[in-house]
């Protein structure tokens, strides 16, 4: 199977929303309660991603990983820091979300998605990028550490009725000519 990485377009909203919900259900079943996972709604995510794509923010980027048959099997979104929580990262830019379906993990797609957003952010003058990840999510933490991320602050909050702890990761971006 060939996976193509490309910029998202408006018609991808539903595919991204489905991958978002399936990605959570597959990847978070060991960390989050069945109730929290059952409560996820594709329709809710469609609204969220429609708003995100309509945002007039050229420095933000949504990339999708598309399989041969057109299915969206993963995505990443990153851009400038937004909101109070993000400020705690202490970076100029942020990865808002990255998700792959189980069947396409460990094929280098996550690395390609991260590099795509890193390059885009560097071109826009950002020097550092951060993200929050569940502290128990060791596979993702190993991935970020392999890519050069450094662990930092922690924060706990109520996620759909369950207390969870997240840990911050920070990446330095290469200077662009
Ligand atoms: C985390 C995630 C994006 C990684 O993407 P991926 O395409 O599977 O990772 P890659 O194949 O690009 O891996 C690159 C390197 O990272 C490391 N890595 C990736 N997954 C790993 C894992 N599960 N355990 C240990 N190391 C891992 C390895 O060093 C790997 O290189 P290798 O395969 O040559 O050994 C993907 O697994 C995912 O979407 N997970 C579920 C959602 C999630 O947790 N998102 C993070 C939310 S903050």
Tens digits of per-residue pLDDT, 105-145?
999 999 999 999 999 999 999 999 999 999 999 999 999 99
> Ligand 1: does its nearest atom lie under 6 Å from the Cβ of 98?
yes
**Banded pLDDT at 161 (limits 50, 70, 90):** confident
Q: How many helices (H) and strands (E) does the chain have?
A: 6, 7
Mean pLDDT, rounded, of the chain: 95
For the chain, list the domains and their CATH numbers.
4-126 (3.40.630.30)
Nearest to 133 by CA among 166, 100, 85: 166
Quote the distance between the C-alpha of residue 61 and its chain's center.
11
Q: Cβ distance 162 to 170 under 8 Å?
A: no
Q: Find the 14 Cα to ligand 1 centroid distance in Å.
A: 24
Which of 77, 110, 131 most suits a substitution to test ligand 1, by most atoms within 8 Å of the C-beta? 110
- The predicted model gives 35-47 an average pLDDT of 93
Q: C-alpha angle with apex 82: 136 to 62, nearest 5 degrees?
A: 75
Q: Find the 58 Cα to ligand 1 centroid distance in Å.
A: 27
Q: Find the 114 Cα to ligand 1 centroid distance in Å.
A: 11
Residue 176 is predicted with a pLDDT of 67
Q: Find the 104 Cα to ligand 1 centroid distance in Å.
A: 10
Q: C-alpha angle with apex 77: 48 to 156, nearest 5 degrees?
A: 75
């Amino acid at each position: 199977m060939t996976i193509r990485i490309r910029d998202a377009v408006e018609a991808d909203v539903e595919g991204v929303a489905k991958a978002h919900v399936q990605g959570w259900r597959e990847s978070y079943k060991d960390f989050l309660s069945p109730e929290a996972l059952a409560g996820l709604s594709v329709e809710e995510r469609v609204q969220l991603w429609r708003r995100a794509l309509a945002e007039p923010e050229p420095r933000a980027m949504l990339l999708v990983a598309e399989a041969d048959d057109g299915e969206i099997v993963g995505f990443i979104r990153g851009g400038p820091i937004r909101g109070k929580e993000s400020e705690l990262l202490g970076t100029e830019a942020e990865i808002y979300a990255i998700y792959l379906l189980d069947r396409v993990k460990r094929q280098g797609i996550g690395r390609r998605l991260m590099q795509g957003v890193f390059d885009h952010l560097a071109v826009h003058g950002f020097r550092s990028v951060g993200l929050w990840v569940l502290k128990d999510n060791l596979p993702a933490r190993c991935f970020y550490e392999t890519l050069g991320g450094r662990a930092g602050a922690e924060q706990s909050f109520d996620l759909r009725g369950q207390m969870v702890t997240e840990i911050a990761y920070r990446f330095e971006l290469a200077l662009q000519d």
